[in-house]
Structure 1
């Protein structure tokens, strides 16, 4: 709910406390993607032996400075969870008001799990690790499972939001959401099927950046319309 105040010929729109909380939570959806990508890129280009065309960003959690990527996972996950709460408040009532936030929240939880259970060393990273895929440990398996569930949920959230935008008559947003969902699934499928392949890793990285951009765009859109 908003209130409009007229003061000396000017108009000022003020949000009630509930709307302010909703907008604050939605703001984390704007911050999450840029924060994650910036920290990951900074690590990727400064870590000895890391090759973005060969190694996935999750492997940055390994080695001497791996704590930086672990913190990146955890902080980003918490921001995504906060955004999911704000999304639930901004979408209700209406189509997708339950499932879109739940799916986004599941992705947030998967990021926390990715930070708790690190990926396995492989393909020469960290420096000194033998070439090749290496052995899969129990924590590496849990990391892969968390990513699989989280990425799938986030892709499905794109399609749920596409239905919501479609029901609201916002065709452009609906098409964009479906497109992002398809591209993200394609990138995830490529890396799952072609472990270690440069094209697959780069496609997946592009998919992650794209879906985080979509998440931020949705957050801005909902922020503007929250009332």
Structure 2
């Protein structure tokens, strides 16, 4: 019983991970006057005097995902989906890394930054980008893995949801990278699809813990 209570608590952290991330991010988008969501990616909120808030947001979200993956292991001991938990764990580690390493200033944010895009990429910015995209790749792979689990279980709705999210999230990322306007909004929606899937899956697995 004690172990099951721990499992439920860890999965609950996964449930709140995406809502918490986007509530904190949206508050910053509204309150940080130099930030323009049409031009700036959410990652750039890690810059400036208040950048520690978004850095912590990335780190906490990553930790919650890792803990949720650990908590779900016992539920999937005899079923498919164990590989998906490893992928979610790597996603969480990538989010932590994205919080520890910041992108380069540019497009006028934060205050005093060059008005154009950075002409070169620093080492910490490269690590931030690699960690962030590795997180997305792992999540997409996890969606495919869990689509197989739900197919085996005969849960067509969840299978379709996993497959749809695995297609929509990368399409939005590609669109965001190829369009110079609304980039922050497009990337933000991609994050809602991907991160939201983690929270939805954690909520689904939480039901199995009762």
TM-score tier after normalising by the smaller chain length: over 0.9
Matched residue, 2:103: 119
Output the CA distance in 2 between the equivalents of 1:136 and 1:179: 33
Higher RCO (C-alpha 8 Å, min separation 6)? 2
Deviations 1:92-120 (A, max 9, x none): 211122x1111101110011111111011
> Offset of 1:34 from its aligned partner?
0.8
Matched residue, 1:47: 32
Matched residue, 1:203: 186
Matched residue, 2:88: 104
> Offset of 1:143 from its aligned partner?
0.6
> Offset of 1:206 from its aligned partner?
0.8
Count of residue pairs the alignment pairs up: 209
Structure 1 unaligned spans of 5+: 1-15
> Offset of 1:79 from its aligned partner?
0.7
Output the CA distance in 1 between the equivalents of 2:13 and 2:155: 24
Superposed CA RMSD:
1.3
Richer in helix (by share): 2
| Equivalent residue runs for 1:90-101 within 5 Å | 90-97=75-82, 99-101=83-85
| Equivalent residue runs for 1:17-166 within 5 Å | 17-97=2-82, 99-134=83-118, 135-166=120-151
Identify the match of residue 212 of structure 1 among 187, 195, 198.
Answer: 195
